[in-house]
Copies of this chain bind each other. A is one copy, B any other.
Amino acid sequence: MVMPADTPRRTARGKNPNRSREHNRRVVLDLLRSQGRTGRRELAELTQLTPQAVTNIIDDLIAADLIVIAGRRRIARGRGQPPHEYEINPAGAFTIGIELAVTRMVTTVVDLAGELLHRDVTAIAEGGPATLLPAIGTRVAQLRADHPGRLMGLGLVMPGPFEIEGFSGVGPTTLPGWAGIDVAADLRDRLGVPVVVENDANAAAVGETLLGVGKEMTDFCVVYFGTGIGLGLISEGRPVRGAFGNAGEIGHIVVTPGGRPCPCGQHGCLERYASLHSLRERLADDGRVLSVDDLDTLAPEGDPVVAAWLEDAAAHLSPMISILENVFDPQTIILSGGLPPACLDAIIARLSFGPSVARRSDRMVPPVIRGQSGLLTAALGAAALPLHEAITPRLDLSDLQETTLKGSAP
């Protein structure tokens, strides 16, 4: 049975000396990023290149200001000359991350070491892409002028699901007026730097790989509390986006059959219990309104409505955690998002789940941990996106269908 596919099959590109060069520099950068200061000899062993090749690569990266000499190893490990060690040069470049929500825009500027250089939150008036895209353009230009060094790229977080592939950035279908607009291409042309567009959960997951637990792990899940609830998936250090770029849309998975009705038509969707939206509903029942500013000061103890919501959210999140562990067998599951740390911790403390392949006795990492949290989470993840694109070794894929020059002659 031959079946037409919805998306073109992507195949790997061939390598030539130039592309190998690029690849090798990525490999070394990635190692220095995840390992911290390292000597040439060790880099050569890890990359399985010769020390001489590593030397050349190091020279290049130093010339590009991406790494610096960290000094000589002090603690002697044996005989012989102690090696020079190298590390990422934080000041070598920076990235900008923007979270675009319905009512606000959170902007972050982050250096190569993941250090926050700048942050701001601005309210945005009702406005479609026609006004917002130029606004982002000028905002980035300002930030670029304010910060010395090289801008490596812009990461943009928008609410999914996206229309086509998440990767090279297409407009979301939930923000009105954005459908069908290639946001990444527009901004790339406007700014002349790489632009990556992602949903909040995937951005948070990439953020964790680069700036969080990623130094230790390559296979994990990120459950992200945005307005709804999302899932970011990292397998072998790279995000899993699915065939159409919308993997991780777990909000409408039924965790409690016959539970609360959901606008999607089902009953008992996860999003009805474990999301900021559901918390807002609870507070509204109580006659209260939760503003953005209140979010970071939300107290898990003391407020009975919040406490009840936490209990409820944890109860319905537990089966989801169980599903993720069984389906992915991750090193850990990270709870992250726009809630204050104490709230995420409270949810984690209230989780309960049955047996799974992850329930092994010898695991060293807790099954669920807290990741980046608070208002900046998504924007920090956004800033990590172009960094990830730039320095992570990858298998270059090229689209297959476009290139079949079977019958077209101009």
**Interface on A for B, CB 8 Å cutoff?**
1-7, 9-17, 20, 23-24, 26-28, 30-31, 34, 42, 45-49, 53, 77-78, 161, 213, 215-220, 231, 233, 235-237, 240-250, 252-254, 256-257, 264-266, 319, 322-324, 326-332, 354-357, 360, 362-365, 369, 393-395, 397-398, 400, 403-407, 409
Whether A46 and B6, one on each chain, are in contact in the complex, defined by CB atoms closer than 8 angstroms, is no
| B-side contacts of A254, CB under 8 Å | 319, 322, 354
Determine if B327 and A247 form an interchain contact, defined as CB atoms under 8 angstroms apart. yes
CA distance A354 to B267 in the complex (A): 10
- Nearest 9 A-B pairs (CB), nearest first? A242-B329, A12-B393, A219-B243, A14-B47, A14-B49, A15-B20, A5-B216, A243-B331, A246-B329
**Majority secondary structure of chain A interface residues (helix, strand, loop or mixed):** loop
B31 contacts A24, C-beta separation under 8 Å = no
Q: Please state if A46 and B327 are interface contacts (CB–CB under 8 Å).
A: no
CA distance A219 to B34 in the complex (A): 29
Q: In the docked arrangement, what's the CA distance between A327 and B326, Å?
A: 13
Give the number of copies in the complex: 2
Q: A265-B355, A398-B46, A409-B78 are in contact. Are A14 and B9 (CB under 8 A)?
A: no
- A16–B19 Cα distance when bound, in Å, is 11
Q: How far is the CA of A42 from the CA of B53 in the complex (A)?
A: 34
Other contacts beyond A45-B403, A249-B326: 9, CB < 8 A: A2-B215, A3-B213, A11-B34, A11-B393, A12-B23, A14-B23, A77-B406, A253-B326, A266-B355
B252 and A355 within 8 A (CB):
yes
How distant is A203 from chain B, measured CB to nearest CB, in Å?
17
Most chain B beta-carbon contacts within 10 A, residue among A219, A369, A407 = A219
A328's contact among B14, B77, B242, B369, by CB below 8 Å, is which?
B242
Interface pair B10/A329, CB less than 8 Å apart? no
Show 10 residue pairs from A and B whose CB-CB distance is below 8 angstroms, ordered by the A residue. A9-B217, A10-B236, A12-B393, A13-B27, A14-B27, A15-B15, A235-B242, A240-B240, A246-B329, A252-B355
Measured between beta carbons, the chain B residues less than 8 angstroms from A394 are: 395
